[in-house]
Amino acid sequence: MGDVIVRSDFSDLYERLKQYENVYMVYDRNVETFADEIAEAAGIQASMAIDADGSNKNMDTVLDICRFLLAMDADRRAFVLAVGGGTTTDIVGFAASIYKRGVRFAFVPTTLLAQVDASIGGKTGVNLDSFKNLIGTFSFAEFTYSCTAPLRTLSQRDLVSGYAEMLKSFIICSSELYEKAVAVLPSVTPDNVSVLVDLIQATQDFKTGVVERDPHEKGERKCLNLGHTYGHAVEWWEQTHECEVEHTHGEAVAIGMVKVAELSEELGYAQKGLAQKIAADLRRCGLPTELPCPAEDLAEALTKDKKNVGGKVKFVYIREIGKVEWSA
């Protein structure tokens, strides 16, 4: 996989982009200020704005991007730069991976959630009929450039949403990093987000290592799905029931981690009290921990999750903080 870079500004990005000809930028309309800054400094002439929300994470948006590249006469030497959150990187990475059988691309993630998870690892894709990421590819960005400056523009809720994926990584790999994060995160706001640099770097280092060892999710990488089986089911339920306020992806994953911690206790994988501790820690960090509906209402989404094999629902169980296990 390509380089994963964390910086406090975009200066290194501008230098890096100078080595590419035929750069085409696709960005989330919500980060137009940053996209304009990058385009001007790097001399990018062709760009496209998209509305990167869940309702547009579909093949229609992918085809719009492909049509944009075609209209710009982009050939197989094209280099596509995605600027935005995880929805943007998922959509644009997928479009680039299939346009003319695949062109080079890179990511500039502008949300914490994208910086610590969505933009790293080579998974691209879009939703199908409200089911998460059922259409996609494994295709690796040439580089991922994370800059802390855009994080200062996030709402507190969007910032907190990223905490869930960070804490997920630490539940998998390190009790020490988990406890450090739980101590730091409750006091973080967009104004002092620079204190997260070391935690962002640690999360990226962990995920990058896992992906390099298991790029196509045949073994170890499956553990990165901790909390996502229930999390994706929560997102499906809210999208299909027209909820007035839906949980963010990170919030849904937080709920999913608590549910799977409870399941881990019930099945004897973990000692009693683990789920209660994780739920309390997540609440301290501002994350929700309760399902928005009865658990049985999630059955359809759980059975259609893309990680299932032979009709069996798959979970990542928690043995203890810092140690997890993928269900056989």
Which of 57, 168, 228, 259 is catalytic? The answer is 228
Integer angstrom CA distances of residue 25 from 92, 151, 161, 243: 9, 20, 26, 33
Quick check: is 16 catalytic? no
Which of 30, 57, 104, 123 is catalytic? The answer is 123
Quick check: is 123 catalytic? yes
Decide if 287 contacts 112 (C-beta within 8 A): no
- Letter string b/e over residues 10-29, b meaning 16 or more CB atoms within 10 A of that residue's CB: beebeebbeebebbbbbbbe
Which of 104, 168, 221, 247 is catalytic? The answer is 221
Which of 127, 225, 235, 265 is catalytic? The answer is 225
Closest alpha carbon to 171 in 268, 270, 308 = 270
Quick check: is 247 catalytic? no
Quick check: is 314 catalytic? no
Q: Going edge to edge, which strands form the sheet with 46-50?
A: 3-7, 143-147, 104-109, 79-84, 23-28, 46-50
Tokens encoding 157: 């809720």
Question: CA 279, 165, 29 angle in degrees (round to 5)?
Answer: 125
Which of 217, 251, 262, 265 is catalytic? The answer is 217
Quick check: is 320 catalytic? no
Which of 101, 218, 272, 312 is catalytic? The answer is 101
Decide if 146 contacts 7 (C-beta within 8 A): yes
Which of 104, 127, 132, 165 is catalytic? The answer is 165
Which of 249, 259, 262, 265 is catalytic? The answer is 249
Which of 104, 132, 232, 247 is catalytic? The answer is 232
Which of 57, 104, 132, 207 is catalytic? The answer is 207
Quick check: is 300 catalytic? no
Q: How far apart are CA 50 and CA 105, in angstroms?
A: 17
For the annotated catalytic residues, the residue numbers are 101, 123, 165, 207, 217, 221, 225, 228, 232, 249
